[in-house]
Structure 1
C-alpha cells in the first residue's frame, strides 16, 4: 500500500486523474431521498465532493477519511462550517465506529489487491448491522502495478459474499461519460 506522503504528493502535484471535480451522479441519486440523520463514512474520500454534497444537503452525521492531509485542507476551504474533527487524516484500517452507510468511490481501486480481503473485513466491522456499503467500483481491467487497480463483478461477488449476506452489484446506468460501461453500482449489507 502506498503511504500517506505518496497520496499527499499526488494532491499537491495535482496528479489526481481519478478526481472528477464534482460528486458522482450515481451517489447523488442514491442519497437524494435518504434520511439526513443517517451516519455516513466516506473512506479514501479524496477531495470529498460527495461529502460536500451531503453536507450541503443537511447530512450532519458525516465522517470523511483520507490518507492525504491535503484533501482535508481542500475540503475545509470549500466547506468551512464542517467540523474538522469529522475529517480524519489517517489509515482506513485504524478507523473506529459504526455507520449506516459507507460510500465507496475510487477507494477500493486505490488499495493494492493484497488488501482487498482486509478491506471487506474492515467494512463489515464499520457497518451497523442494518448498514449498507454503497457506491461505485470499476468493472474493468485497469492496472496491476499501480493504482487504480481493476477488478470484475465475479471477483467482487466472490470476495464480498464470504462476509456479507446481501451483495448487489449491477451495471451503473448513470456513470460519468469517461467511466460509462466500466462501473458497477454496489449495495452490500450484513
Structure 2
C-alpha cells in the first residue's frame, strides 16, 4: 500500500479517519495550557482536522501554523474557522516545508508515516526547530508491524532515533490519554541540542 496524497485524500473523503478524536486530546491540551508565552511560533505537521490548531488559536496562540499535504482536512479547518488567516494553513509535503518554529507538536503524524521515513522525519524536525526549540507530543507504544497506519514503536526505538539530536526531557506513558488510546501512548518533550 502506498501512503501517498491520493491515499490520504481518499481516507478523508470517505471519512475513514478512525484516529480522529473530534477534539484536542487531553495530553496535548494540558501541555498547551501550561505555556505562558503565547507569542511563540508553533507548527503542527500532518495536522489532519487540526483540533490542536483550533485550540491554540482560540486560546491566544496567534503565531500557530499547520501543514498537511491533503486538501480536505485543510478545507475542514477553514470551514470551522472562517476568520483564520489562510497563510497559517499550509498545504505542502512536510518534507518540503521551510521555516523556523519554537515548538512543534506531534499528534498522529509520525505514526502515519512509513517507518522508513522516521530518520528523515527527525532531520526535518531539526531543520525546522529554532535553537533550543521543542518537539512535544505523543508517540504510539505498541509493536511496530508492517500493518499500518498507524505504525507503532517502542520507547527504546524512539530514544535511539531522537537522542543524538535532542535532549530528552521526558518520554513516559501518558497518564491522561483518551480512552481508546489508554496505555498505548508515550507523552514526550524533546529539546533540540
- Secondary structure of the 2:190 match is strand
1:13-32 correspondence to structure 2 within 5 Å: 13-32=14-33
1:3-82 correspondence to structure 2 within 5 Å: 3-34=4-35, 35-82=37-84
Task: Say whether the 8 Å CA contact 1:26–1:175 is kept in structure 2.
Answer: yes
Equivalent pairs, count: 190
- The question of 1:152 aligning with 2:161 is answered no
Deviation, structure 1 residue 142: 5.7
Deviation, structure 1 residue 113: 0.6
Give the gaps of 5 or more residues in structure 1. none
CA distance in 2, matches of 1:31, 1:164: 20
CA distance in 1, matches of 2:102, 2:166: 15
Task: Say whether the 8 Å CA contact 1:99–1:131 is kept in structure 2.
Answer: yes
Partner in structure 2 of residue 184 of structure 1? 186
CA deviations on 1:150-177 (whole Å, 9 max, x unpaired) are: 1010000000012223352111010001
TM-score normalised over the length of structure 1: 0.96
Runs of 4 or more off by more than 3 Å in structure 1? none
Partner in structure 2 of residue 95 of structure 1? 97
